[in-house]
Amino acid sequence: APGFVRFAWYYFVAAHRTSVPFGSHSCRQTLDVYSVKPFSAQDESRELLGAPVLIFFTGGAWIIGYKMWGALLARALTAAGIVVVIPDMR
């Protein structure tokens, strides 16, 4: 399968990814939280407590960046037990 198909499958289907809004001025004011297991803000599980967290800002000059660009990085790091947070910008 072409690379973009495998990437889209991971981003939209396979990843344990939760999109969390952090503002109301734009539909892009969200961040993706990738974890080893499914995560929700109401999750009572303590399994993620104490897990290392990496925040990854994509793009450049703080004016462009799309959170999907970091999905493959998140795939590699969550396999190592690291929670990855990628905010969308602008």
Query: What is the spatial distance between Cα 42 and Cα 65, in angstroms, rounded to a whole number?
Result: 28
pLDDT confidence bin for 54, thresholds 50/70/90:
very high
- Mean pLDDT, rounded, of the chain: 79
> What's phi and psi for 75, nearest 5 deg?
-60, -45
Which residues lie below 8 Å from residue 86, measured CB to CB, with a gap of 6+? 31, 32, 34, 55, 56, 57, 58, 67, 70, 71, 74
Angle at 15 between CA 2 and CA 64, to 5 degrees: 75
7 has pLDDT over 90 = no
State the Rg of the chain over Cα.
13
